[in-house]
Structure 1
Amino acid sequence: MKRAAETAGAWPFEEARKLVERLKRHPKAEVLFETGYGPSGLPHIGTFGEVARTTMVRHAFHVLTEDKVKTRLLCFSDDMDGMRKIPENVPDRAALEPYLQMPLTAVPNPFGGDYPSFGDHNNAMLRRFLDTFGFDYEFASATDYYKSGKLDAVLLRVAQRYEAIMQVMLPTLGEERQATYSPFLPISPVSGRVLYVPLKAVDAAAGTITFTDEDGVDKTVPVTGGRVKLQWKPDFGARWAALGVDFEMFGKDHQTNAPIYDRICDILDGMAPEHFVYELFLDENGQKISKSKGNGLTIDEWLTYASPESLALYMFQSPRSAKKLHFDVIPKAVDEYFNFLARYPSQDWKNRLGNPVWHIHSGNPPEIDMPVSFTMLLNLASASNTEDESVLWGFLNRHVPGVSAATHPKLAELVGYAVKYFHDFVKPNKVFRAPDEIERAALQQLDAALAALPEGAGGDDIQSALYDVARPIPRYQDLKAKGATPERPGVSVEWFNTLYQVLLGLARGPRFGSFVAIYGVAETRELIRKALAGELAA
């Protein structure tokens, strides 16, 4: 496997090979992977994506080094950041107004419960999911690291090399900001707020800074012990230097700042980690997902309608391409996961190492028999207009006799997800349209063709009948299809779109012959009757 891994084209192997080369240049006993989390709002899927993707790179690294190098994954929460604005998705926004600019771990928890602060609550939500998924990681809190002294040595080094860091930072700032900028943000002894104020003095020998506090009095405080925190750009580089981070990925919005992080890390006697820059997730309107806005999907929302594996697949695919992250991407992700899983056993090692399920399951994908697709289940629910799982099992037993929740537990999960997804997203958006005259004639011919099929006809026979009905109709002919001739044209997708829109009230659907085989020929003919009678569109 190692030989195949050395040339594997999947992006986790590309990143892992960079780490192998780094280790050759700079040997060390342990390689540290890090992910960052800003707990200013409830964690969203993008946060999970960093951990999932980093885990994939970490596993690829273990394969390349044959588990001879120890690794750790540190999930670092920037929970000492000041709350700059009140998130839109908290229960009582007004109650948080007095705590603006306070460290997130000093802001009361608006959700109540066992967690003392807003930061603690959001950290716990992230850890809960990461634990549920089974990630191997260590959680780190910036508040803990600052207050416990774990960052003291690098903070003193920042004071000693203050001017060098300022020379990096000042050219990146506007003239007004240059006049007040400092890499140190003092925590006010009076109010407890994170202060963005100019410094009056930096005493490297004493390890202190002097500034004017909110009460107008000059204060001198040590840079150690949690009395200050670093601005976010210096914080990146300082943390890398302090912890010896070897790999960290971040979103494209950080890309222009990466050279700044690297330079500061170098100034502080560290070696910048290997980077992986991923594209940002977008909501249904094409806007960047924001934790404070609460747009896009939360972790819990995805898991209401689909499995963690489908989410991991979505993270694996095309990480350098911007992708919409909304409810309508879920069915495709579910079906693609099971398609990749089905192909895995018959693949050679080269293709296995490029198969997403190898990376999702850390090299050990399960064997799962999935007789139908998630899209098929949604269309069965839509055609029968049911939210009753037993109705779907009835259709499935017609297709696969003896199938049950006991014999196919993963299928049982999918049935449960399907009825929830149907209720929340399919049913409210079903829009049947009435057929026009050409479509009415085609549906009448389809009804006759279905009636003429032998009992027990399979999906392929039904699909052939669908083609035979559409092929003579000019509207549905496709002369550009592979193997098409004027005498025997192909059938365009418009024919199947007609069936989805008129009979199911949906924009798209599964292979229609397979759908009819499971749903039933008689039941499909009843849909046609209702469509021709105007009952569906009504």
Structure 2
Amino acid sequence: MQFAQLPIDQEIRDEAGRSGAWPFEEARKLVARMERSGKSEVLFETGYGPSGLPHIGTFGEVARTTMVRNAFRILTGDTIPTRLLCFSDDMDGMRKIPENVPDREALVPYLHMPLTVVPNPFGGASQSFAEHNNAMLCRFLDTFGFEYEFASATEYYRSGRFDAVLLRAAERYEDIMAVMLPTLGAERQATYSPFLPISPSTGRVLYIPMKEVDAKNGTVTFTDEDGRDATVPVTGGSVKLQWKPDFGMRWAALDVDFEMFGKDHQTNAVVYDRICEILGGTPPEHFVYELFLDAEGAKISKSKGNGLSIEEWLTYAAPESLGLYMFGKPRAAKRLHFDVIPKAVEDYYQFAASFERQDTRSRLQNPVFHIHGGAPPVSGIAVPFALLLNLVSASNASNKETLWGFISRYAPGVTPETDPELDRLVGYALRYFEDFVRPSKRFRAPDETERQALEALARKLAELPADADAALIQDAILDVARPIERYQDTKKTGPNGGPGVSGEWFQMLYQTLIGQERGPRFGSFVALYGIEETRALIDEALSGRLAGGQAV
């Protein structure tokens, strides 16, 4: 996921200017923006709420932004510098105590205090809850090789980085209120203020109305929690802004050019833009992505825990596969659950294998171009991931050595040393099988027609040479099915003009021999697993030992 330094020639730039890949479409908007503004640098921004740990959505936002950033670099021939600012809203008050922290009671006195004041409940070198989570964010982003700059809201507010725009917000307070109040209910309107003062008496972030906003002196007056009126400056970190005005203020203060956000922000985007304009800025280019769904199609919620964590994905697959998942159709809602991992892995290596054969136009459409900044480090894999999973399933392998015994026979000369990428996949396949495939395996006993078909298949395989390749084996498997009426498909045409073979044939093979509903090309599986081993597997199925629950 690194921001690669791909050499950019004119052909690449020309094709990028016409490419329909969404990162180039977004980057072209930025090119036009730079032409209008005359700016000498482009600032990309992503936001982060440090009340929780980095999650899969954090990865997606930074990865997708990096894809647009790299596309812009290609379009401009790398002549305009770019920066990516990962901004942590760590001055926000702790509105509730997270479920996953130790000794939750110890944090009760710090409710509604800025997250940079809340003590770190996890121990270690970090002093505050926000500092701990910010460190986790940076470690998280560094793990994936992202190029970025970290920014702390607390540091920016306290250091004066936002002072000029905050003073302008005091001057244009009524204009901001005119934007905000129509978006609120009657009860909230009565108490709303875009300024959230930090209580001088308690240190808490206060959601209260202002008694006075003094634009001349740059101060706000309010009733503090001790019942007395307090006047504090809007500068120097004595106040922060509500989250919607804060969006627009930050855009104006930092002159942000691009920020993407989830669909849940879409209705507020016009508010962010208008606040930015009121404060003298130009709203950035937006990209709104769809939210993730769980296996049942419900919106993923961190509090419900119904999603898939970044740690869980990376237990069973490499970051590149997650990058592929993020690249595909970002404006479409996608289900994010464990079952999507094998397909993402399989698709990634298929795209990687095709990259070397493609012309420039096709490469710019290929996801691996955008995942790796134009320079994918791999060009495919000797054994597809789906085949590895089926090999683990059929062989009952529990370690890499067993699997490599099959792989080395299937692909002579390929070893863990010569193909470390495949060795990494072997490890993922073993873990994924053990946790997800094995518990769901359900063998069924063949009926009489299926028994006869399996017996015929065992005889046919015995006739093949020991070194038969996947294509020859697949043809033999099809030859067995063609005469059997149950497996004939009249919508397909066989090699001699007769009916083709239906998918029911292969489904039967996987249900009775592997204990799954489907799988990759069966001839490839037999070539990898071995002809004699497959015949032994058929004997196991015919004897009833597989359907009886005995492990393969």
Q: Same fold (TM over 0.5)?
A: yes
What does 1:118-517 align with in structure 2 at a 5 Å threshold?
118-481=129-492, 483=493, 488-517=498-527
Contact between 1:335 and 1:375, CA under 8 Å: does it hold in 2? yes
Cα gap change, 1:15/1:306 in structure 2, threshold over 3 Å: closer, same or farther?
Answer: same
Shift of 1:176: 0.7
Residue type of the alignment partner of 1:503: L
Residue type of the alignment partner of 1:397: S
In structure 2, what is the Cα distance between the partners aligned to 1:382 and 1:391? Answer: 12
Cα gap change, 1:489/1:117 in structure 2, threshold over 3 Å: closer, same or farther?
Answer: farther
Cα gap change, 1:118/1:431 in structure 2, threshold over 3 Å: closer, same or farther?
Answer: farther
Contact between 1:6 and 1:17, CA under 8 Å: does it hold in 2? yes
Paired residue secondary structure (2:260): strand
2:76 is the counterpart of 1:104 = no
Shift of 1:112: 2.4
Shift of 1:276: 0.5
Q: Which of 42, 45, 66 is the equivalent residue of 2:56?
A: 45
Shift of 1:148: 1.5
Residue 542 of structure 2: aligned partner: 532
In structure 2, what is the Cα distance between the partners aligned to 1:84 and 1:288? Answer: 22
Shift of 1:367: 4.0
Cα gap change, 1:118/1:488 in structure 2, threshold over 3 Å: closer, same or farther?
Answer: farther
Provide, for residues 99-139 of structure 1, a one-character-per-residue CA deviation record: whole Å limited to 9, x for no partner: 33222222233332222222222222221121122111101
Shift of 1:147: 1.6
Paired residue secondary structure (2:225): coil
In structure 2, what is the Cα distance between the partners aligned to 1:99 and 1:267? Answer: 34
Q: Which of 516, 520, 528 is the equivalent residue of 2:530?
A: 520
Contact between 1:209 and 1:223, CA under 8 Å: does it hold in 2? yes
Contact between 1:81 and 1:104, CA under 8 Å: does it hold in 2? yes
Contact between 2:350 and 2:380, CA under 8 Å: does it hold in 1? no
Paired residue secondary structure (2:220): strand
In structure 1, what is the Cα distance between the partners aligned to 2:126 and 2:449? Answer: 64
Give the number of equivalent residue pairs: 537
Provide, for residues 194-219 of structure 1, a one-character-per-residue CA deviation record: whole Å limited to 9, x for no partner: 22111111111111111222222222
Shift of 1:485: 9.4
Shift of 1:271: 0.1
Shift of 1:365: 1.7
Shift of 1:223: 1.3
Cα gap change, 1:137/1:517 in structure 2, threshold over 3 Å: closer, same or farther?
Answer: same
* Identical-residue share of aligned pairs (%): 70
In structure 1, what is the Cα distance between the partners aligned to 2:302 and 2:375? Answer: 33
In structure 2, what is the Cα distance between the partners aligned to 1:167 and 1:492? Answer: 66
Provide, for residues 508-531 of structure 1, a one-character-per-residue CA deviation record: whole Å limited to 9, x for no partner: 221111011010111111221111
- Structure 1: tracts of 5 or more residues without a match: none
Contact between 1:479 and 1:485, CA under 8 Å: does it hold in 2? no
Deviates more, 1:205-214 or 1:280-289: 280-289
In structure 1, what is the Cα distance between the partners aligned to 2:202 and 2:364? Answer: 55
In structure 1, what is the Cα distance between the partners aligned to 2:101 and 2:451? Answer: 52
Over the aligned positions, Cα root-mean-square deviation in angstroms equals 1.7
Contact between 2:292 and 2:299, CA under 8 Å: does it hold in 1? yes
Residue type of the alignment partner of 2:531: V
In structure 2, what is the Cα distance between the partners aligned to 1:191 and 1:438? Answer: 79
TM normalised by structure 1 equals: 0.96
In structure 1, what is the Cα distance between the partners aligned to 2:129 and 2:501? Answer: 58
Shift of 1:59: 0.8
In structure 1, what is the Cα distance between the partners aligned to 2:471 and 2:58? Answer: 43
In structure 2, what is the Cα distance between the partners aligned to 1:500 and 1:162? Answer: 68
Contact between 1:89 and 1:293, CA under 8 Å: does it hold in 2? no
Cα gap change, 1:163/1:399 in structure 2, threshold over 3 Å: closer, same or farther?
Answer: same
Shift of 1:187: 1.6
Deviates more, 1:379-388 or 1:258-267: 379-388
What does 1:74-93 align with in structure 2 at a 5 Å threshold?
74-93=85-104
In structure 1, what is the Cα distance between the partners aligned to 2:152 and 2:394? Answer: 50
In structure 1, what is the Cα distance between the partners aligned to 2:488 and 2:179? Answer: 65
Shift of 1:536: 1.2
Deviates more, 1:460-469 or 1:270-279: 460-469
Shift of 1:183: 0.6
Contact between 2:352 and 2:380, CA under 8 Å: does it hold in 1? no
In structure 2, what is the Cα distance between the partners aligned to 1:294 and 1:89? Answer: 11
Deviates more, 1:100-109 or 1:524-533: 100-109
Residue type of the alignment partner of 2:198: I
Cα gap change, 1:100/1:435 in structure 2, threshold over 3 Å: closer, same or farther?
Answer: farther
In structure 2, what is the Cα distance between the partners aligned to 1:31 and 1:291? Answer: 32
Paired residue secondary structure (1:480): strand
What does 1:8-47 align with in structure 2 at a 5 Å threshold?
8-47=19-58
Cα gap change, 1:96/1:498 in structure 2, threshold over 3 Å: closer, same or farther?
Answer: farther
Residue 7 of structure 2: aligned partner: none
In structure 2, what is the Cα distance between the partners aligned to 1:164 and 1:305? Answer: 52
In structure 2, what is the Cα distance between the partners aligned to 1:211 and 1:454? Answer: 88
- Structure 2: tracts of 5 or more residues without a match: 1-11
Cα gap change, 1:293/1:194 in structure 2, threshold over 3 Å: closer, same or farther?
Answer: farther
Deviates more, 1:44-53 or 1:89-98: 89-98
In structure 1, what is the Cα distance between the partners aligned to 2:108 and 2:337? Answer: 30
Shift of 1:92: 4.1
Residue type of the alignment partner of 1:498: M
Residue type of the alignment partner of 2:262: G
Residue type of the alignment partner of 1:98: P
Contact between 1:358 and 1:364, CA under 8 Å: does it hold in 2? yes
Contact between 1:335 and 1:373, CA under 8 Å: does it hold in 2? yes
Paired residue secondary structure (1:43): coil
In structure 2, what is the Cα distance between the partners aligned to 1:69 and 1:501? Answer: 57
